[in-house]
Amino acid sequence: MAALAYTGGKREINYYFSVRSAKALALGAVLLLAACHAASRRYRGGDTCEYLLSSGRFLGEKVWQPHSCMMHKYKNSEAKNCLIDKHIAFIGDSRIRQLFYSFIKLINPQVKEEGNKHGNIPFEDKSASIKVDFLWYPEVNGSMRQRIKSWTEGSVAKPHIIVAGAATWSIKIHNGSNEALTQYKINITSIAPLLEKLAKSSDVYWVLQDPVYEDMLSESRKMITNEKIDAYNEAAVRILNSSSRNSKAKVKVFSVSKLIAQETIMKSADGLHLPESSRDTNAMILMNVYCNKIMKPIDGSCCQPQPPLTLIQKLAFCFFTLSIIGYLIINLIHRNNYRKNKSCTDLESGEEKKPAISTPNVSTLEMLLHSFCKLGLIMTYFYLCDRANLFMKENKFYTHSSFFIPIVYILVLGVFYTENTKETKVLNREQTDEWKGWMQLVILIYHISGASTFLPVYMHIRVLVAAYLFQTGYGHFSYFWIKGDFGVYRVCQVLFRLNFLVVVLCIVMDRPYQFYYFVPLVTVWFMIIYATLAIWPQIVQKKANGNCLWHFGLLLKLICLLTCIYLLSYSQGAFEKIFSFWPLSKCFELNGNVYEWWFRWKLDRYVVFYGMLFAFIYLALQKHQMISEGKGDPLFSNRVSNVLLFISIVSFLTYSIWASSCKNKTECNELHPSVSVVQILAFILIRNIPGYVRSVYSSFFAWFGKISLELFICQYHIWLAADTKGILVLIPGYPMFNVLVSTFIFVCVAHEISQITNDLAQIVVPKDNSTLLKRLLCIAGFFSGLLLFSAMQDQSRH
């Protein structure tokens, strides 16, 4: 009964929720969310600087998340590059002095908080010609006004950035009297026009007063209450906003400090001044407000304008637009023709007459335009998610629960959808799809949770990436060894399916090919496998069966490949020279060099070879009937199977213990290429030695495995954000619901792209050799034009 209920439940789900209906629902969700976000930005304003300065929340205890955008964590070198030849002035009381020290520590962390607390404090970084001054003006009065006025008159050099604020001294000195508040309003009213005048050429920020922790205040400060502070802040905001309405320039109100203080002021040493972590956060916000538009960090979306369209992006937009128009015209013509030739009912006999002309089949052109039409709409969604400022973005924040709880969820789902396999061979198609599927889901959870900061998880994820490459070696070697098909058609099909989506994204998202590092990796390894086996003498299974010496010839080829890999891995200079030649450099350079490509290749340099060797040994054992692959049968004899299973489990756990005890990422990465195969082989044996385990698979994981490449690539822009540095926010304020909705849309898009790629592969890469040659010439022309436009684009940027 339980089994029947289990099977019936799955059928019920599959009946009422098909892939087609899911995609229709995803399309509706995208249109609705895009409309809502567009309306919100129109009526509430789309300036992320305003959000950065005024709203946000804490992720954990110390990580501040601005509303709707991502905040970059500036290093000392980046801060210096941004502020080179700049003069910054902090003017105000002891709280502004705190902010001043936190700010200059971003430029020079060695600075100590010394000097006269109630006096001016200068700072200068001569290497970058940066000058930062703290000017002691604890009250908003005539003295402060005179200093600000001197900057407007040109008698003193005008700072590029001015950060001002004061109020607590006025409350303290005048014992919180109403007269002091009235005088504060008068004084700030007289200063406001001067600040507005400065804001025309400088960045001017007025820092609102943070709340205090009244229970910790000393007796001399008891009159500084949060009620009084709110009154002073309200006055400052009203006057500054009123002044801004009459001026094009605007003084930026730095109110976010209040929100930060509300969460952290109880950790204050005296109830008045913020703890160090909070003021450091304020300084980082200030740095983001000013520097993001200059430095344009990938993970700093706050205060960054939308990047202008490049020439190639404009051409892509025109191409997709024409494809959509062309498809609509052809579809309209076909519909009209169909209506004219449609069967009509004989009114007298009531019989249906056959049409004179049959409904025309879908032409190649129509299928091509239909595919590009869908692809164009999908690429629009990609662009809106990660290049336009329509949807929101947030920083990642890792917690153990955010990684491990989703892992448990998908494991339960995977077990729920367990089915019998059609065949029980080692690493059969269903099993490899399942393997790719659950690995891809774990990698996705790893990326969205920011788990790369936790070294044990990072090391295990590195094994999963290595396992993908292991499958590349195993799969392609098995195909060439068994089939002996080294034709151009096979090579073009594989290269097209691997690279089509990435090439389109390079064009639409204006990113280099190496940015999507996994695709260049598997592409190069495929070509290496092909070259190794295709170069004379071509040794395949059929030939080797006739003479056992050919097996030794193949092993000799594999040894030569291993030697080349070994030598190249210890010759970084030679490696970089090979891939620095044009036009290879256009494919493998990232940020002006090929170091990233070198690092990625070196990290898993042996695992493809291991995959090829494993395929060779397994197929040899299978050929000589030394393994049993019957349904329910153990792979070897019971005794051998039990010993191998025990060794595999011990090896698997030993690697996990070693990976979990890693202390240094660099040292562990050095060992990874040699030891990752241990856990991969252990998993294969655990999964395949017991016959009952080999005879079942998870259709849930296998479904994701069939679109694993698309999932890996699409996550860069429509699930994560800012080129994987952050998280896409479609539904703000509800993190869990947002992840569910964005994941649903993301998976539907990846599945549709997989189908588009398969459809286009049949058209672009035909089996007929003469037609294929013509297509290859067209593709060569396309890439030549792309290189030309790319060179023009680079010249215009420089």
Residues labelled catalytic: 94, 270, 273
In this structure, what are the phi and psi dihedrals at residue 729, rounded to the nearest 5 degrees?
A: -115, 105
Distance CA 181, CA 790 (A): 61
Tokens of 680: 């991969």
Tokens of 293: 């538009």
Q: Which helix (H) or strand (E) holds 410?
A: helix 400-416
String of DSSP letters for 443-460: HHHHHHHTGGGSHHHHHH
Distance CA 643, CA 629 (A): 18
For residue 134, the tally of other CB atoms under 10 A from its CB is 25
Which 3 state secondary structure label does DSSP give 252? strand
Axis crossing angle, helix 364-386 with helix 488-508, rounded to the nearest 10 = 40
Distance CA 194, CA 200 (A): 10
Tokens of 88: 């910054």
Q: Assess contact for 217 and 265: CB atoms under 8 A.
A: no
Amino acid at 486: F
Which stretches within 267-349 are classed as H helix?
276-295, 311-340
Distance CA 456, CA 439 (A): 16
What burial class does residue 574 get, using C-beta atoms within 10 Å of its C-beta: 0-12 exposed, 13-18 middle, 19+ buried?
Answer: exposed
Q: Which residue has the tokens 């349904």?
A: 631
Distance CA 525, CA 601 (A): 9
Please state whether 335 falls in left (phi above 0), alpha (psi between -120 and 50) or beta: alpha
Q: Assess contact for 614 and 478: CB atoms under 8 A.
A: no
For residue 34, the tally of other CB atoms under 10 A from its CB is 17
Please state whether 165 falls in left (phi above 0), alpha (psi between -120 and 50) or beta: left
Bridge partner list, 57: 65
Task: Provide the sign of the torsion angle of the four alpha carbons 644, 541, 628, 688, taken in this order.
Answer: positive
Distance CA 264, CA 60 (A): 12
Q: Assess contact for 190 and 141: CB atoms under 8 A.
A: no
Distance CA 746, CA 111 (A): 47
CA angle 436, 439, 444 (to 5 degrees): 120
Distance CA 768, CA 775 (A): 11
In this structure, what are the phi and psi dihedrals at residue 726, rounded to the nearest 5 degrees?
A: -135, -165
Distance CA 293, CA 305 (A): 7
Q: Assess contact for 70 and 725: CB atoms under 8 A.
A: yes
String of DSSP letters for 597-630: HHHHHHHTTTHHHHHHHHHHHHHHHHHTT-S--S
